């Protein structure tokens, strides 16, 4: 049956980070493809599919029904992590296909729900910095990162595990670079990584040119963009 679920390369990559016996919550689940795929593949996996919008919630319920997984996947309506509570004993959370700021907001607002969550798997569509900053400040250590391209989009997947150690001491330039580029991705410098950051570099060029043409120039903002562009140059060199 698993072959019937046409999972994207992006969601398949996320699925590889879920354990065979996990009890996970997929927040912003839309069609619930990820929980259905993983539950079909592994008989001992159970999941909660959380959705804030009624349309995607209805689609998630339809997929769960179609795959006869209602006894193992609970589809719940709610904002972010409010769909889970301690009694659910969730060990892993996946949040994919949203902006990094939204993912970071969901995690920040739901911090009290993370007590027993040992793994966070996130896939921000942009602003990985916001996600990595949250992780570092909240005891989640990045264990793996992927950067993939699918249908002309580039996606980052960030996998992290809870650590009792306090990982964050001070905001240094090195730390900021890690958050922006991803510590592992920056070391690997894959072809997709280079493509992403070359494009970002060119976008920043355009932004700076536009800002310099404005009647009132925001020097601080321009300087911030220039610093980021300099970091990109260094990483790509
Ligand atoms: C683009 S879809 C991604 C679906 C799926 N996770 C994926 O990666 O293919 C984003 C989904 O997140 C949901 N969403 C956005 N904000 C949310 C929030 N605060 N809590 C729960 N779901 C949210 C949206 O309704 C939408 O269905």
Encode pLDDT of 125-152 as tens digits: 999 999 999 999 999 999 999 999 999 9
CA separation, residue 170 to residues 65, 137, 161, 167, 184 (Å): 48, 10, 20, 10, 20
Looking at the DSSP assignment, which residues form a beta bridge with residue 75? 49
Cβ–ligand 1 distance for 56 under 6 Å, the answer yes
Give dist(CA 141, CA 38) in Å, integer: 24
Give dist(CA 40, CA 53) in Å, integer: 25
Structural domains in the chain plus CATH codes: 2-168 (3.40.50.150), 192-236 (no CATH)
Does the pLDDT of residue 1 top 80, yes or no?
no
Atom 9 (ligand 1): residue with closest C-alpha?
97
pLDDT digits (tens, 9 = 90+) for 217-227: 999 999 999 99
- This prediction's pTM: 0.96
Q: What is the pLDDT of residue 2?
A: 45
Cβ–ligand 1 distance for 150 under 6 Å, the answer no
Pocket test for ligand 1, best of 6, 32, 34, 52 (most atoms within 8 A of CB): 52
Q: State the maximum Cα–Cα separation within the chain, in Å, rounded to a whole number.
A: 62
Give dist(CA 229, CA 156) in Å, integer: 20
């Amino acid at each position: 049956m698993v072959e019937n679920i046409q999972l994207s390369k992006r969601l398949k990559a996320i699925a590889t980070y879920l354990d065979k016996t996990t009890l996970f919550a997929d927040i912003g689940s839309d069609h619930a493809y990820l929980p259905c795929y993983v539950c079909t593949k592994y008989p001992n996996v159970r999941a909660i599919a959380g959705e804030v919008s009624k349309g995607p919630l209805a689609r998630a319920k339809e997929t769960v029904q179609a795959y006869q997984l209602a006894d193992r996947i609970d589809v719940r309506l709610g904002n972010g992590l409010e769909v889970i509570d301690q009694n659910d004993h969730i060990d892993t959370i996946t949040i994919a296909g949203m902006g990094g700021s939204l993912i970071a907001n969901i995690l920040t607002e739901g911090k009290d729900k993370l007590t027993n969550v040992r793994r966070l798997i996130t896939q921000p569509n942009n602003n990985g910095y916001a996600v990595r900053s949250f992780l570092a400040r909240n005891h989640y250590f990045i264990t793996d990162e992927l950067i993939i391209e699918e249908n002309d989009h580039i996606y980052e997947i960030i996998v992290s595990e809870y650590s009792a150690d306090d990982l964050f001491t001070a905001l240094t330039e090195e730390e900021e670079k890690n958050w922006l580029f991803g510590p592992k991705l920056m070391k690997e410098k894959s072809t997709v990584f280079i493509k992403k950051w070359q494009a970002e570099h060119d976008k920043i060029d355009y932004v700076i040119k536009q800002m310099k043409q404005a009647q009132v120039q925001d020097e601080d903002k321009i300087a911030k963009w220039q610093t980021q562009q300099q970091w990109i140059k260094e990483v790509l060199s």
